[in-house]
Structure 1
Amino acid sequence: MKFGKEFPLQAVPEWREAYMNYNYLKTLLEEILIFRQRQTSSHVNQKPKPSRSLKRKVSLFRAFSGLTNSSSPSKYKEDEVIIVSATQLADEEQGGSECQSYQTSFLRSSEEGGDLELVFFRGLDHEFNKVTRFYKTKVEEAVKQAQELNVQMDALIALRIKVNDPIEVIQQSKEHKMASLDVLNRVKINATTETPRSTVRSVFNSLNMDLNYNKNELKEAQGKLKQAFLEFHEKLRFLKNYAFLNQLAFSKIMKKYDKITSRNASDAYLQMVDESYLSQSDEVAKLIERVEAVFIKHFCNGDRQRGMNTLRPKSKREKHRVTFFVGCFFGCSLALIGAIVRSIHARDLLQGEGQTKYMNTIFPLYSLFGFLVLHMLMYAGNVYFWTRYRVNYSFIFGFKQGTELGFKQVLLLSFGLSVLILAAVLANLEMEMDPDTQNYKTLTELLPLGLVIVVVLIAICPFNIMYRTNRFFFLVCVWHCICAPLYLVTLPDFFLADQFTSQVQLLRNVEFYACYYGWGDFKKRDAATCNNSNVYKVLSIVIAVVPYWIRVLQCIRRFCEGRDSTQAMNGLKYLSTIAAVVSRALYSQNRGTPLRIIAASTSGVATIFSTYWDIVMDWGLLCRNSENPWLRDKLILPSRSIYFITMVLNVILRLAWMQTVLDFHEAPFLHRNALIAIIACLEIIRRGIWNFFRLENEHLNNVGKFRAVKTVPLPFSYEDEYKNL
């Protein structure tokens, strides 16, 4: 792979604006190459005139060096192409600190085409100064962070001594030099409100708590510091890679310049690069060694192999068997669909009473899995495009490095589940078609329930199979959503809650499962008890409201923590949606003109509010004065038209959902449950499209702030006098 394509692939996505703009400099060199080719072609048919080169003419007047001088001849000054000088400037971005700025003087600007080369070196200097300033800023940040971690480690070691065995420690301190326990008198615990217990405690107490010297306190502090060291080490590796890649990029571009212009300017410029802060600074390498030593000693009990595996996890390998099973399950799914269609046609289930009975009972039971598989397929598509366009979804979601699922793994789960579902559907049909088993209708009705049990058991399976890390990550996020607003709201939590708002019909199907099997309707395949129950109807409204109410609580929590008025407006958006959902549900149960007007008005307001929020706030589009009119300054997708098409599609899909629930249009050739399922699928598709642009906007915000590693809250706070020591 050429360096121009490999360079952005190895760069840290959030720092891409700070890297050398290799493609821009390459474009300038291409202009120089085109100019020289034109000059060559214009003189190819002209007879060359005898001329004496400047090099030969000047050499006639050079001082005589003698015949006995055995040293190698020095480089002639007239062969010099550039002179690179460095000046000390006060960098306002670094608080007025001194930084070096490099400027290249091009000595051949008077030659034909020299103006193009002058532009190239000006661009080259700009890129190098940009890279050097950024690198120095990040190194200074890392040094300050290392000092902070030093003080934190002093407190942790003192707390560890105090908690484990203070009497023995006092006895041993007479024989060995032990860490001072005086630091504990100057620190307090930072009680972050991340759990229900800490949230409730923070309501009555200050966030800075006195030390209690217990093991739980020690365990929590040690866990936070361990995570802080992991993130700090990752940042240092990013910096090391940043310096290496940029040095390589400047070397490549200068060699390309020499090749195009037939000059020898790379030696002088690369010598400056080698002598600059970018190459000479060794703070990052030293910090990496110290961090690794501290981490291995204090967090891995001196086990270097375990410590290095934790600090530098191996990259995930692409397994060919995953691709094989994806294709295998996909083929099996198609075959099972064909078999189901043939079975339905043979039983003539689309005609007569059989259709009504199946659509009212069996269809809701299995459509639940259809919604789930479709959402997983949309997520697989999201992962594919996030990976293709370098959206760092793994960092944004906070996945443990190397555990994130690629799109093939998600497809494997999706098609594997679809095979299981379709096989159950076919078995259900075949068991009734077989004369020997058609009397066991109760047994056939239990197949969907058995399938639900299997899926739930797989999700909560404690064994290290079937992507356990990802399953537990998902379950933790689900639990945080259920317990909102007691847990600290992170992006995965509210992102998942937004997914639930697009799966209202799936949640209603879960309610149908509870009613159908709980009240025994499955024994006679009749959902009349559920459909005619007032309690069931009320719970149906409550279940539809729950996902939006979770988002309201999350917005309240985020507003209380950050005092961000945007979160208050976001909460109002979900409240308007709740009003629309309740009014639509009441209208569907009790038809009437007043309810129809209320449902239409509330749904219209909620749709306008939500559509505006999707496009402007979540996607960051409709910026009037941006570089891309009515979009945003930075775009990831190559075509701007995709953004406009997506905005229109978002509006259409939202309106389609509103119209169907309000029964503005009835489809006589489709059963009502089938029509509801189709519109529910359209909402899932809309959510899948929303997911890509929502994370794209989040990624660009991280890029704008050069945020490439997570900020981990530290366990201790200090008095100012001690912190400044």
Structure 2
Amino acid sequence: MVKFSKEYEAQLVPEWRDAFLDYWKLKDELKKIQMFNNNSFDKQNDGFFKCSFFLSFGNISSFGHKQSNDGAIHVHKKLASSLSQGDLYETQLLEQFGDVEGASEFFSCLDDQLNKVNQFYRIKEKDFVEKGNSAMKQLHYWVIAENALKTKKENASLHSNDDDPSISSHPSCVVELTEKAEKKEEEEKEDKNENDSQERSSRRMKRDESGRSFSSRVFNCQGKNLTINIPLTTPTQALSAIGSFVWEDIIGHSTKKKSNSRGHHTNKTNLHHARKMIKDAFVELYKGLSYLKTYRKLNMLAFVKILKKFDKVTNKEVLPIYLRVVENSYFNTSGMVMRLSDEIEELFVKHFAEDDKRMAMKYLRPNHRKESHAVTFFIGVFAGCFIALMAGYVIMAHLLGIYTKQSSDPVYMETVYPVLSMFCLLFLHIFLYGCNIYTWKKSRINFGFILELTPMKELKYREVFLICTASMTLIIGVLFTHLSLIAKGYSSTLVQTIPAFLLVFFLLVLICPFNILYRSTRFRFLQVIRNILFAPLYKVVMLDFFMADQLCSQVPLLRNLEYLACYYITASYKTQDYGYCQRTTYYRDLAYAVSFLPYYWRAMQCARRWFDEGQVTHLVNLGKYVSAMLAAGAKLAYDKEQTTLYLFLVVVLSSGATLYQLYWDYAKDWGLLQFHSKNPWLRNELMLRNKFIYYFSMVLNLILRLAWLHTVLHPNFGNVDSRVIGLFLAALEVIRRGQWNFYRLENEHLNNAGKFRAVKQVPLPFHEVDEDE
């Protein structure tokens, strides 16, 4: 049977870990009591805990009241200094504990844990209830706006020659609320009378933020002015909003008929976006409420378990007494979460699932895909095939002397080898991402939430390994066949285009519209690449700049891709004139651009984040990528003209960029180098138990960051071709990035945990404006 502590840790919400009952600390207190009193500790669980891990609260309650003994302890309840804390509990030990040393410390710690659990539950419950009320009010506004738009469209078609009726004057805006909604609004008014000033300041902040975005129309419903605020996260939305304003406000009445149709289309589009925003808010709110239910259930079980252990160690019977207090405490008796959760289900089924509860539950309670044993089997099959084919390819290449400086076939190294090196770097990166997923999962790092991946569609690490092994088996198999044909003397145009067919095949798989080969992942990848390419036009999210950082480690891949595109598009493969592209001026200029592009994209993302968030840190981060661009330019210039001046520039600029990047890696991205930390040179909170791994990773990151010294030193590795050395160094950079990925998300996870942030904050579309405003 799995120990309770492991099951407990596996089930708790990672970002709320510090808010859960500290079961391990209480176990340490029990060990002290055991040591003080020389009592033997029975490690075997009794029959009560051999049942299922998830027990009903009714069974817990009945168990607690069977062995009532009021002569051991007495728990006092007192009012806290602030309303947010609620009631505080303090345990008084009676005469029975006179012979038990350490019991007072144990119950003091237990009281602190109970008070912490109650306080956190109360705060989170209040937060979710406020969000729930706000989301339901937004849904009500959306229903009114939708009905108003439908009626306006019908009137416009009936009275095409009359003046347009405005939404603000349409009677459909004045609707009768249901009895349930009216009662809810009355309760909200009573609660909000005390928090008038806070609400006004909140509305003011929302109004200031909304000034950055366009709004569709202002309409009046039930005496309130409302605007639909759709955040302009894409150029399409911005142009649509601008077009709406130009058409409706600048052109005027002379083209009223056209403006009406355009206005209807714009309003319909905005309402569609508003509906999606409200739907996402409901999904995230429901997820948060589910976490809160798990929080209550797990803490209740933890209290039962630790009290049972205490009774075994001390031979006392305090479980029934203290458990009665826990059962009557706020976190276990409050029913607001259950009621709000049921109400959200009801509304979601009605408005977002067409009264289909099964469809609604697919959004509210998404099921994670089960991992199949077939995936593991095929990983083994493809891995074996890849190793065999790779061994054959290397042996044949060695016999032909292809990878030596005095290669008998320089055309192969100039045309086919870039294809091999490009795919090797790509799938090495993907393989390391699979390793990252495995380590994140083992370390309880919620990478799916951080990167905003869809729970039902995100790749598992086994699936990533399957993609890598299957793809590399295909690639090496095709190139092995191509090399065999060349060795036999086949040099026709068709044979020379085999590597090009390989590139086209993977490109077609990537953009394939059919629901095969992980379509959702492929399309999400293309969407992120689009966001990177058009930076800073798109709002930057975590996944966007995380992927852009990956591209910064794949400059050699981009250079090879650019060269191969030129080689095959210009039909140089027909004459095997591999030097044609390098002789053209535009290609040399493009080579500079490709080397700069990843750093440029990342710098533009930093600029966009500074514009959106106003934090100077993003400008400092932008400077890091500018320094990398300068260093890359100096290296390219030095490769072209081997002069002392360019060598000096390479050393100075690369050294400065390396120091800049190292500091940012350690202090900002990884959150290390905290000199006053309890873990020297690290941080207070570490996800890995072995501190040596962090120190090793810091040293390894330093060594791999110095790979640019190869440009200056030009080390000699015998008869090996320089391109092979370049591939090896590029692979080291990819490995460094794979290591960086783990600590980057670990730091992000700890930041979320420090703020107890386990669900996304979804912006809501409708903004209320007072009459005087």
Q: Give TM-score scaled by structure 1 length.
A: 0.89
Equivalenced residue count is 678
Partner-residue secondary structure (3-state), 1:284: helix
- 2:228 maps to 189
1:234–1:99 CA distance, 2 compared to 1 (3 A):
same
2:121 is equivalent to residue 135 of structure 1: yes
- 1:60 maps to none
Can you list the C-alpha shifts for 1:386-426, whole angstroms capped at 9, x where unaligned?
00001100000001122221111110111111011101111
Can you list the C-alpha shifts for 1:561-589, whole angstroms capped at 9, x where unaligned?
11111001011111111111011101101
- 2:350 maps to 297
Q: Which amino acid aligns with 2:22?
A: N
- Give the 5 Å matches for 1:80-479: 80-91=71-82, 96-97=83-84, 99-108=86-95, 111-112=98-99, 114-166=100-152, 182-183=221-222, 186-199=225-238, 214-350=267-403, 352-434=406-488, 438-479=489-530
2:18 is equivalent to residue 11 of structure 1: no
1:442 Cα deviation from its structure 2 partner: 1.8
Q: Which amino acid aligns with 1:182?
A: C
The 1-side partners of 2:636 and 2:307 are apart by 68
Partner-residue secondary structure (3-state), 2:102: helix
1:228 Cα deviation from its structure 2 partner: 0.6
- 1:57 maps to none
Alpha carbons 2:224, 2:771 under 8 Å: kept: no
- 1:702 maps to 752
2:610 is equivalent to residue 559 of structure 1: yes
Alpha carbons 2:638, 2:650 under 8 Å: kept: yes
Partner-residue secondary structure (3-state), 1:631: coil
1:520 Cα deviation from its structure 2 partner: 2.4
- 1:34 maps to 35
The 1-side partners of 2:276 and 2:572 are apart by 51
* Larger CA deviation: 633-642 vs 292-301: 633-642
Can you list the C-alpha shifts for 1:588-624, whole angstroms capped at 9, x where unaligned?
0111011111121111111111111111111111011
1:575–1:98 CA distance, 2 compared to 1 (3 A):
closer
The 1-side partners of 2:772 and 2:8 are apart by 44
1:103–1:431 CA distance, 2 compared to 1 (3 A):
same
The 1-side partners of 2:560 and 2:631 are apart by 20
- 2:163 maps to none
1:38 Cα deviation from its structure 2 partner: 6.0
Alpha carbons 1:577, 1:606 under 8 Å: kept: yes
The 2-side partners of 1:163 and 1:124 are apart by 58
Q: Which amino acid aligns with 2:514?
A: F
The 1-side partners of 2:537 and 2:39 are apart by 71
The 1-side partners of 2:470 and 2:638 are apart by 39
1:241 Cα deviation from its structure 2 partner: 0.8
The 2-side partners of 1:319 and 1:271 are apart by 45
Residue ranges of structure 1 left out of the alignment (5+ in a row): 41-73
Can you list the C-alpha shifts for 1:524-552, whole angstroms capped at 9, x where unaligned?
43412133333322211110100100011
Q: Which amino acid aligns with 2:666?
A: I
The 2-side partners of 1:432 and 1:205 are apart by 61
Alpha carbons 1:199, 1:486 under 8 Å: kept: no
Residue ranges of structure 2 left out of the alignment (5+ in a row): 42-65, 156-169, 182-218, 250-262
The percent identity for this pair of structures is: 36
1:109 Cα deviation from its structure 2 partner: 7.1
1:223–1:39 CA distance, 2 compared to 1 (3 A):
closer
Partner-residue secondary structure (3-state), 2:516: coil
Alpha carbons 1:163, 1:218 under 8 Å: kept: no
- 2:257 maps to none
1:342 Cα deviation from its structure 2 partner: 3.0
Alpha carbons 1:377, 1:411 under 8 Å: kept: yes
- 1:71 maps to none
Alpha carbons 1:382, 1:688 under 8 Å: kept: yes
1:518 Cα deviation from its structure 2 partner: 2.0
1:692 Cα deviation from its structure 2 partner: 0.5
The 2-side partners of 1:168 and 1:540 are apart by 58
Alpha carbons 2:125, 2:337 under 8 Å: kept: yes
The 2-side partners of 1:247 and 1:486 are apart by 49
Alpha carbons 1:155, 1:184 under 8 Å: kept: no
1:205–1:87 CA distance, 2 compared to 1 (3 A):
farther
1:111 Cα deviation from its structure 2 partner: 2.6
1:76 Cα deviation from its structure 2 partner: 9.7
Q: Which amino acid aligns with 1:428?
A: H
Alpha carbons 2:37, 2:101 under 8 Å: kept: no
2:747 is equivalent to residue 667 of structure 1: no
1:367–1:76 CA distance, 2 compared to 1 (3 A):
closer
Alpha carbons 1:31, 1:116 under 8 Å: kept: yes
The 2-side partners of 1:627 and 1:3 are apart by 29
The 1-side partners of 2:173 and 2:115 are apart by 52
Partner-residue secondary structure (3-state), 2:355: coil
Alpha carbons 1:577, 1:603 under 8 Å: kept: yes
1:680 Cα deviation from its structure 2 partner: 0.6
* Larger CA deviation: 665-674 vs 365-374: 665-674
1:33 Cα deviation from its structure 2 partner: 2.7
1:366 Cα deviation from its structure 2 partner: 1.6
Can you list the C-alpha shifts for 1:113-158, whole angstroms capped at 9, x where unaligned?
x231111111111111101100000001111111211221121001
Q: Which amino acid aligns with 1:505?
A: P
Alpha carbons 2:147, 2:172 under 8 Å: kept: no
2:700 is equivalent to residue 649 of structure 1: yes
Alpha carbons 1:109, 1:115 under 8 Å: kept: no
* Larger CA deviation: 346-355 vs 407-416: 346-355
The 1-side partners of 2:553 and 2:559 are apart by 12
1:664–1:203 CA distance, 2 compared to 1 (3 A):
farther
Partner-residue secondary structure (3-state), 1:90: coil
- 1:680 maps to 730
2:664 is equivalent to residue 613 of structure 1: yes
1:668 Cα deviation from its structure 2 partner: 3.8
1:606–1:350 CA distance, 2 compared to 1 (3 A):
closer
The 2-side partners of 1:660 and 1:475 are apart by 34
1:364–1:97 CA distance, 2 compared to 1 (3 A):
closer
1:295–1:629 CA distance, 2 compared to 1 (3 A):
same
Partner-residue secondary structure (3-state), 2:684: coil
Partner-residue secondary structure (3-state), 1:354: coil
Partner-residue secondary structure (3-state), 1:104: strand
Alpha carbons 1:361, 1:526 under 8 Å: kept: no
Alpha carbons 1:659, 1:665 under 8 Å: kept: no
Q: Give TM-score scaled by structure 2 length.
A: 0.83
The 1-side partners of 2:650 and 2:16 are apart by 48
The 1-side partners of 2:372 and 2:68 are apart by 58
- 1:65 maps to none
Bigger Rg over Cα: 1
Kindly report the root-mean-square deviation, in angstroms, between the aligned alpha carbons of the 2 structures. Answer: 2.7
1:263–1:611 CA distance, 2 compared to 1 (3 A):
same
1:137–1:667 CA distance, 2 compared to 1 (3 A):
same
Alpha carbons 1:541, 1:582 under 8 Å: kept: yes
